[in-house]
Amino acid sequence: MPKIHRPGVAISDTLGEACKDSRIRGGQHVGPFEDEAALSKYLMFPDDPARRGHKILFTHSDLNPRNILVDRIAAQGGGYRWIVTGIVDWEFAGFYPEYWEYTKAMFEGFRWPRRYNEFVKSTFQQLGDYSAEMNVEKRSWENADHI
């Protein structure tokens, strides 16, 4: 049975091996990394304080409308409501800094309706303030860091 996480490896794919994420080197396999600082060396602005001190968490790493399945169901008293029935496309899943899911969800924000982007922002605000992390990521993207 494969190990989910290897000793000495903090940032990796689901098996403790190299990460694959379109955000890092255009989707090339990199890592695994022993810590956030090692990952940051692969990104622009590696010494920015926003790239330090985060918990490492398991993340889908590609949440966006095309990967979230929903159903419309009848609500009591009339009308409809939406429920999440599944999340697909786990290709980029792994262990990343806690801000990663938020910034990745916003990475292609230009493709999605404003309502979705506002939903993502309000959801993640409940988990913490990742505005500094978002700012350094935006600067990175503007400099074609993901290519």
Q: What global pTM score does this model have?
A: 0.86
Per-residue pLDDT of the chain (147 residues; tens, 9 = 90+): 344 556 778 999 999 999 998 888 888 899 999 999 999 998 999 999 999 999 999 999 999 999 999 999 999 889 999 899 999 999 999 999 999 999 999 988 778 889 889 989 999 999 999 999 999 999 998 887 655
Residue 3 included in any domain: no
Residue 132 lies in a domain: yes
Beta strand spans in the chain (E)? 12-13, 19-20, 29-30, 56-59, 68-74, 80-87, 94-97
Domain extent for 127: 12-142
Structural domain contains residue 72: yes
- 119 within some domain: yes
- The distance in angstroms from the start CA to the end CA of the chain is 35
